[in-house]
Chains A and B, each alone.
Chain A
């Protein structure tokens, strides 16, 4: 029974967790906002102890007007968009295959999920060194075996290579969500459409895709949130060169390579705003799904 007393006891017991979570989130957030309005170049002697100069929106203006900004936005969009496209198209195809009754279904399903358990840094290194290395990589051997010159994946096709690596990691997630959607598809609907004269492509477009649309939106939004903050894969492969400098990576470079905390923080605030716009859409759609 929720009496006044037990309720206040519950609040008291939840307090440490709430305080911890709030602190974890609020302190970095307010510090980022604070730094974004300050000139803070630690290598030039700026420090919290000496007091930081207030520069207003200077950092925000400089972050956007920098020559690296728009290319980084473009790289982010290409990376996120590319990964979404690949994971959803292949995810639908894989989910359709896994939905078929077959021998060893359990084992195959576990194998399909496996990439999701590999740490991003590890998987990027494995791809870089074992597959994409232009001398010893697997792809180089394949190319040479047919007499072609091996591609230098990470420099000649840097963004597509990154899309490939990240897609490999996120494909299991998309496949799993879409597989459950497939399993909830009423077979009688497909049979009815077959009786109604719909051929397989038409059944796919008119029955299967509309049924999957909600699952696809959920995959789209959840992945977008995580893909916007892709970092490890870029860090261990191209280090942001060859046009792979995303917004996240640009912020990292501003703060740690250029040692300009104020400028990087302003970029961070831009990234927060961007992520929140996506999050609002996500919560609306998830909320709608819970209502239905």
Chain B
């Protein structure tokens, strides 16, 4: 079981309110990702759930019980830290067994669980090494191992992949997703990387300045962003946001259109522009096109075959059914 509920939870450091009162429910077994730019309070929110920070107001409920005053160890949550926070003087085996040892579990049961976790995480050959002798990915797995032996109600991940190189990050991303599928335990995952958020989450919570901007499934957020911030934050490359006269034509303060929803043509279209930088990814090419319609260059996705040289004159046509409209407060117009 691992349902977590936040009721009007807030946090201030001195006079600075980093998280105004917010409500959030995380269902049992869900993979929830907190995503937002750095300094948006997502790590603080995770630490409030873990109990490493005290809430300034409101209540944290775990499985329906008020855990606001409960010490971190008794909340039944396990955390994986950004720095892994392995104990450098202990072997991998002792690291993984540490929470069990602290719980006073008997030695045989400790060994059984450690062996079990090690085989799940492919760490069996490394059990007698020190963390200093392991690679980044292996350390990451030890940190996860230390979390799973406790059989917690929920896992908390604090930017666990940000210290790994790009290739390893993709691998670990898959491993964590698989682990979730297998264990079916609630996981809360904090990241600033929206690719991680999109690929792993059942539910994404987008945060900005401690405020929840939108909660929803990855595709929901992608297809129906609630406001301009979410529209600009989710998706890579970013959604093109155009305000001013062009937006007014659509009765909106701002309009947004994703790069893949624009047709590019060399003969005709709605907006005329000149090609700036083009980014060739092989499968796709992203063109940055300078148009009169927008002050910022518009990003357009085209197939990898299309070759346009710098300064070429092109016409862009947004597909009207994919146009997002936002009012002057930045909220979506239905």
Contacts and interface: CB of A to CB of B under 8 A. Distances in A.
A192 B89 contact: no
A188 B83 CA distance: 7
Contact of B85 (A188, A197, A202): A188
B149 to A, nearest CB: 10
A189 interface: yes
Interface stretch (A20-28, A206-214, A273-281): A206-214
A211 B78 CA distance: 23
Given A188-B82, A191-B52, A191-B81, A198 B87 contact: no
Range, interface on chain B: 20 to 34
Given A202-B102, A206-B98, A195 B79 contact: yes
B168 interface: no
Interface string A163-198: 000000000000000000000001011011111111
Among A193, A197, A198, the one with the most B-chain Cβ atoms within 10 Å of its Cβ is: A197
A202 B78 CA distance: 18
Contact of B81 (A188, A198, A211): A188
Interface of B: 50, 52, 71-74, 77-79, 81-83, 85-89, 98-99, 102-103, 146, 150
Interface string A142-181: 0000000000000000000000000000000000000000
Residue from A189, A196, A211 whose CB has the most chain B CB atoms within 10 Å: A196
Given A195-B73, A196-B150, 13 more contacts: A186-B85, A188-B85, A189-B85, A191-B52, A191-B79, A192-B79, A195-B79, A195-B99, A196-B73, A197-B73, A210-B87, A210-B89, A211-B88
A202 B72 CA distance: 15
Contacts of A189: 85-87
Counting chain B CB atoms within 10 Å of each CB, the highest count among A186, A192, A195, A211 belongs to A195
B69 to A, nearest CB: 15
Contacts of B89: 210-211, 213
B43 to A, nearest CB: 11
A195 B78 contact: yes
B78 to A, nearest CB: 7
17 contacts: A188-B81, A188-B82, A188-B83, A188-B85, A191-B79, A191-B85, A192-B81, A192-B85, A192-B86, A192-B146, A193-B102, A195-B78, A195-B99, A196-B73, A196-B99, A210-B87, A211-B88
A202 B86 CA distance: 16
A197 B103 contact: yes
Contacts of B150: 196
A186 B83 contact: yes
A132 to B, nearest CB: 42
B52 A194 contact: yes
Given A189-B85, A191-B85, A210-B89, A198 B102 contact: yes
B87 A206 contact: yes
A213 B81 CA distance: 24
A197 B50 CA distance: 12
A206 B98 CA distance: 10
A189 B82 CA distance: 11
Contacts of A206: 87, 98
A48 B223 CA distance: 103
Contacts of A197: 73-74, 99, 102-103
A265 B103 CA distance: 60
The CB with the most chain A CB atoms within 10 A, among B82, B86, B102, B146, is that of: B102
Contacts of A196: 73, 98-99, 102, 146, 150
Contacts of B82: 188
Nearest to B149: A196
A188 to B, nearest CB: 4
5 tightest A-B CB contacts, nearest first: A197-B73, A196-B99, A192-B85, A188-B85, A197-B102
Contacts of A186: 83, 85
A193 B50 contact: no
Contacts of B102: 193, 196-198, 202
A192 B87 CA distance: 9
B87 A195 contact: no
Contacts of A192: 79, 81, 85-87, 146
Contacts of B74: 197
B104 to A, nearest CB: 9
A27 to B, nearest CB: 46
A197 B83 CA distance: 19
Contact of A195 (B52, B88, B103): B52
Nearest to B89: A210
Nearest to B98: A196
Given A206-B98, A210-B89, A195 B83 contact: no
A210 B72 CA distance: 23
A195 B98 contact: no
Contacts of A191: 52, 72, 79, 81, 85
Contacts of B85: 186, 188-189, 191-192
Nearest to B104: A197
B81 A193 contact: no
A72 B102 CA distance: 47
Nearest to A207: B87
